[in-house]
Amino acid sequence: MASTHSPDTLSHPQPGSTHDEPKHTGIWKRPLKPDGLVGWLTTVDHKKIGIAYAVAALFFFLVGGVEALLIRLQLFRPEQELITAETYNTLFTMHGTTMIFLAVMPLSTAFFNYIMPLQIGARDVAFPRLNALGLWTFILGGILLNLSWFFGGAPDMGWFGYAPLTGRQFSPDMATDFWVLSLQVLGIASLVGSFNFITTILNMRAPGLSMMRLPLFTWMTLITSFLIILAFPAITIALVELMFDRHFGTMFFDVLGGGKPILWQHLFWVFGHPEVYILILPAMGIISEVLPVFSRKPLFGYPLVVFSGAVIGFLGFAVWSHHMFTTGLGVVATSAFAFLTMLISIPTGVKIFNWIGTMWGGRITFTTPMLFAVGFIWMFMLGGFTGIMHSSPPVDAQQQDTYFVVAHFHYVLIGGSIFALFSGMYYWFPKVTGRMMSETWGKLVFYTMFAGFNLAFFPMHILGMTGMPRRTHTYQTELGLNGPNLWSTIGAFMLGFGVLMFVAQVIYSLKKGQKSGRDPWDARTLEWVTDNPPKFYNFAYTPIVHARDQFFESKHGKPERRMEKLAPDDHGIHMPDQSWWPLILSIGLFIAAFGMVVLGQPREAFPLIGGMLPEGDFSIWEFTVPGLALTLFAAFGWAYEGPGGFHVHPPASEIQDDEMGTVLRTAPTRPEPNGHSGH
Amino acid sequence: MAHPASADPLTELKQTNTGIENKKLAMWAFLASDCMFFGTLISTHLIYRRVYPDVVNPPEIFDIELTGISSFVLLASSFSMALAVSSAHKGNLKMVRIALAATIFGGLVFLAGQVYEFSHFVHHKHLTLDSNIFGSTFYLLTGTHGTHVAIGVLWLTAHLVHTFTPWHGRQNALDIESTGLYWHFVDIVWIVIFTAVYLVEYLNF
């Protein structure tokens, strides 16, 4: 946010913090309680925000999973009537939207939040309150989308919302408005998060941690953030145009008024294809962390992995029309997009060779995170092969809208993204909780998920080749689709069972897991230098980095490549203060968005209390204007309050505690390649 | 990191890996994103102009003299914005207030021109959001830009009021500079919009 006050130093009771005279600026006193409900609602700690992201994302992952299982249940046998065609449409729409925007993206963001600042040796992200804003807008956006179930039914036009199906004429009720507005709210969450991560990674690295020493996961966080800030505007504007079509009579996508539905497809996929890489690049980052640790080798071809990640991100903006080959783009455009699509398999292949090269000749231990990582490589490759198949327009014309495509992107998104995210969860669980997850149970979860996933999705290749169309709620007995569908449903339930076992294991391990100690995996990167779980100020000192994979070098490398530690000066460590404003601002946005959903709807349609409301239609005055007013008020309150902050003096024992490096009292005189870190 | 009391807080804020303050870097990232917002809107407008060249004859609707003058005032306000940033860095508070007020005035003149223009188009030229596709794309694009200007005016006003409070300090020069980046961007985008939406319509191909 814009203007800020002088960073008045507030102090409050924290272990080891100083007690200056508290000076309060702002409209009310800042929340100072670090624990309990208030602590969570006002937190600006990137670690707590990361945990909140993960919990909410896993919850939505289960919701989206139940929707998928209902779909599979309906397709278990031919000509079943378990679910009506209408409900089926809402289920696949909500399944896609939920999994992409409310499960996989925020789960990646959870890792960005928790792990990235630790990997670069920072105390927090650049804008801690903005980080909290991202969290709350994400959660409220997810709630807004799912509120549609209680307001006459969820959206039913597919997660891509193709025009003209989304126009008032074909979707007269509020369901589509819920979809439009919640995606806009979620877009704000992604955008503010990304501005924050970009600034943090570029500006707040520990001394000596040059860009080409950055852990791969941090690199992929950076590239993903750039993809988000450049791709989300396209869909945001498309959604605004759609919102104007639905509420104010514009004709952007209205065929009768001259609007072109193809424009929606272009705008949607200009966002939609980079979005695919937004989902997979963080996963690739996680894999690039896990494989070296459990192969006991540095990442093979580090610069090439970084560079190919950047190339994937760049080319990701130039291939959107391969989602539209069958719309008749013309020969030149189709050929160009086919060529670029084939081109993008090169940097992807480079990465796969590098991962294999990392394992080659390594001392491999097949722990649960490693199993998921190896599973990722294999499954992602299978998804990639079918991807190359439909990069060819004539082949694509055969596969368009069949289950072959469903099989393809589930191999990339489950076998790819989800497996990598599970690998990350098993790998960093001790970091976040200080406890281990049992290997026996972890392996059981992996093999159940792996077998269930393949049983569920491999038959879909055959179904698609046989000609089974997507998004159709049933099929006839004599079409020859019965066997694969039956196996697919059994596999889906196996996969679901594996996920349930995982959830149970997480809950069990939180309470009963073995204590992990500081370095359970003999890990390589900076986040493992601190305690498990880390203190709220992350590092008691500023780490001074002299090598890639600094932690591993400090343990096993040459003496001159060991880490050094810069002790805090007399002022101690500066930490940001908690704040109510991010939550208030996102509630304002939520109310305003809700107002745009119900705009023009009869008041009596409101669930439960509709009968008590005065007759008439909702205007912008009930929700939208008050919501925007609250947003504006919160923005000023936010700026008026200022970042605040207090100082922590960690005990000397914590600075000395480990054998990780020499403690320096003053900054090194030797010039460091990247200057100074933030605080 | 050292916190010597005598040091300029702005120098300290520059102590980042890139040498650019966090707030400025985040603002640059936001502006990159905003480019894509406007890019999408401008593309939509130009695509529909090309697909339906005859739905309206824009020179019959536009009042190019009025829009030209208000555009000039908006662009001129970039000068006073730059003056405000420079004075803030030099610590010349009086000049900061004058330059901020001048910038706000420029923004308000532009907004007044747009309000007049919109109401004139609606009431006399019968161009509305839902009258035809040109109305849809024109109002959404220029309206989004107007919203940007309005937010900028509110933001600058907040800065101006802030300079009269005891909390205004040295490091607020950075905040004024960030707002300045935003303001210049909004002006530059208007150059593109004014050219692509207004001026090219007067060319005789």
Q: What is the pLDDT of residues A532-571, one digit of tens each?
A: 999 999 999 999 999 999 999 999 999 888 899 998 888 8
What pLDDT shows up at residue A8?
Answer: 36
Q: Is the dihedral of CA A658, A661, A662, A666 positive or negative?
A: negative
Which residues, 6 or more positions from A111, have their beta carbon under 8 angstroms from its beta carbon? Answer: A50, A217, A282, A286, A421, A424, A428
B20: chain A residues, CB-CB within 8 Å: 203
Cβ contact B54:B66 at 8 Å = no
Residue A416 phi/psi, 5° resolution?
-90, -90
Shortest alpha-carbon distance between residue A17 and chain B (Å)? 17
Beta bridge partners of A646: A575
A233: chain B residues, CB-CB within 8 Å: 33-34, 36-37, 39-40
B55: chain A residues, CB-CB within 8 Å: 258
From CA A246, how far away is CA A624, in angstroms rounded?
Answer: 16
Say yes or no: A203 contacts chain B, CB-CB below 8 A.
yes
Average pLDDT over residues A626-643: 92
From CA A419, how far away is CA A450, in angstroms rounded?
Answer: 9
From CA B193, how far away is CA B205, in angstroms rounded?
Answer: 20
What pLDDT shows up at residue A657?
Answer: 66
In this predicted structure, the answer to whether residue A18 has a pLDDT above a threshold of 80 is no
Q: What is the pLDDT of residues A586-602, one digit of tens each?
A: 999 999 999 999 999 99
Residue ranges of A 481-540 with Cβ closer than 8 A to chain B = none
- Quick check: B171 and A677 CB within 8 A? no
Q: Nearest Cα to A374, choosing from A426, A318, A415, A328?
A: A415
The percent of residues in chain A predicted with pLDDT above 70, rounded, is 93
A195: chain B residues, CB-CB within 8 Å: 26, 29-30, 33
In this predicted structure, the answer to whether residue B1 has a pLDDT above a threshold of 50 is no
> Residue A3 — very low, low, confident or very high, per pLDDT cuts 50/70/90?
very low
Query: Which two tokens mark B79?
Result: 């000068």
- Quick check: B16 and A678 CB within 8 A? yes
Shortest alpha-carbon distance between residue B126 and chain A (Å)? 14
The per-residue pLDDT of chain A, averaged, comes to: 91
Say yes or no: A397 contacts chain B, CB-CB below 8 A.
no
A678: chain B residues, CB-CB within 8 Å: 1, 15-16, 22
What pLDDT shows up at residue A671?
Answer: 46
> In the sheet that A563-566 helps form, which strands lie side by side, from edge to edge?
A542-544, A563-566, A661-664
Beta bridge partners of A566: A542, A664
Element (H, E) at A575: strand A573-575
Which residues, 6 or more positions from A536, have their beta carbon under 8 angstroms from its beta carbon? Answer: A14, A34, A45, A47, A575
Which residues, 6 or more positions from B141, have their beta carbon under 8 angstroms from its beta carbon? Answer: B38, B41, B42, B44, B45, B193, B197
What pLDDT shows up at residue A19?
Answer: 40
What pLDDT shows up at residue B150?
Answer: 98
Q: Nearest Cα to A207, choosing from A679, A673, A518, A578?
A: A673
- Quick check: B29 and A676 CB within 8 A? no
Burial class for B88, CB neighbours closer than 10 Å (0-12, 13-18, 19+) = buried
Say yes or no: A205 contacts chain B, CB-CB below 8 A.
yes
- Quick check: B44 and A127 CB within 8 A? no
From CA B110, how far away is CA A14, in angstroms rounded?
Answer: 51
Q: What is the pLDDT of residues A143-154, one digit of tens each?
A: 999 999 999 899
What pLDDT shows up at residue A7?
Answer: 37
Shortest alpha-carbon distance between residue B140 and chain A (Å)? 8
Q: What is the pLDDT of residues A180-232, one digit of tens each?
A: 999 999 999 999 999 999 999 999 999 999 999 999 999 999 999 999 999 99
Cβ contact A167:A254 at 8 Å = yes
Size of interface A-B (CB pairs under 8 A): 150
CB-closest option in A4, A237, A259 to B175: A4
The per-residue pLDDT of chain B, averaged, comes to: 93
Give the single-character DSSP code of B152.
H
From B160, which residue of chain A is nearest by alpha-carbon distance?
A3
Three-state SS at B146: helix
Query: Which two tokens mark A346?
Result: 């090169």
In this predicted structure, the answer to whether residue A673 has a pLDDT above a threshold of 60 is no
From CA B181, how far away is CA B24, in angstroms rounded?
Answer: 8
Q: What is the pLDDT of residues B2-46, one digit of tens each?
A: 444 456 888 888 889 999 999 999 999 999 999 999 999 999 999
Q: What is the pLDDT of residues A69-99, one digit of tens each?
A: 999 999 999 999 999 999 999 999 999 999 9
Shortest alpha-carbon distance between residue A573 and chain B (Å)? 8
What pLDDT shows up at residue A4?
Answer: 37
Residue ranges of A 628-657 with Cβ closer than 8 A to chain B = 636, 639
Residue ranges of B 41-70 with Cβ closer than 8 A to chain A = 41, 44, 47-48, 51-52, 55
Beta bridge partners of B58: none
From CA A541, how far away is CA A552, in angstroms rounded?
Answer: 19
The 3 state secondary structure assigned to B158-193 is HHHHHHCCCCCCCCHHHHHHHHHHHHHHHHHHHHHH
Cα A622 to Cα A591, A599, B137, distances in angstroms: 9, 9, 28
In this predicted structure, the answer to whether residue B205 has a pLDDT above a threshold of 80 is no
CB-closest option in A195, A234, A251 to B40: A234
Q: Which residues of B104-136 are buried (b: 16+ CB within 10 A; e: fewer)?
A: bebbbbbbebbeebbeebeeeeebbbbbbbbbb
- Quick check: A3 and B44 CB within 8 A? no
From A241, which residue of chain B is nearest by alpha-carbon distance?
B140
Burial class for B205, CB neighbours closer than 10 Å (0-12, 13-18, 19+) = exposed
Residue ranges of B 137-156 with Cβ closer than 8 A to chain A = 137, 140, 155
Interface probe for B, chosen from A237, A241, A278, A541 (most Cβ of B below 10 Å), is A237
Residue B167 phi/psi, 5° resolution?
-85, -10
Interface probe for B, chosen from A3, A221, A260 (most Cβ of B below 10 Å), is A3
For residue A507, how many other CB atoms are within 10 A of its CB? 10
CA angle A267, B188, A260 (to 5 degrees): 20
Query: Which two tokens mark A336?
Result: 């160009």
B22: chain A residues, CB-CB within 8 Å: 126-127, 199, 203-204, 678
CB-closest option in B19, B30, B140 to A250: B140
- Quick check: B129 and A248 CB within 8 A? yes
Among A4-18, A441-455, B79-93, B169-183, the minimum mean pLDDT is found in A4-18
Query: Which two tokens mark A416?
Result: 């790819």
In this predicted structure, the answer to whether residue A655 has a pLDDT above a threshold of 50 is yes
Q: Is the dihedral of CA A390, A393, A395, A398 positive or negative?
A: positive
Q: What is the pLDDT of residues A276-303, one digit of tens each?
A: 999 999 999 999 999 999 999 999 999 9
The percent of residues in chain B predicted with pLDDT above 70, rounded, is 96
Residue A17 phi/psi, 5° resolution?
-95, 160
> Residue A26 — very low, low, confident or very high, per pLDDT cuts 50/70/90?
low
> Residue A103 — very low, low, confident or very high, per pLDDT cuts 50/70/90?
very high
A639: chain B residues, CB-CB within 8 Å: 158
Which residues, 6 or more positions from B105, have their beta carbon under 8 angstroms from its beta carbon? Answer: B77
Q: What is the pLDDT of residues A220-279, one digit of tens each?
A: 999 999 999 999 999 999 999 999 999 999 999 999 989 999 999 999 999 999 999 999
Query: Which two tokens mark A345?
Result: 């398999």
Interface probe for A, chosen from B14, B15, B16, B159 (most Cβ of A below 10 Å), is B16
Enter the ipTM: 0.94
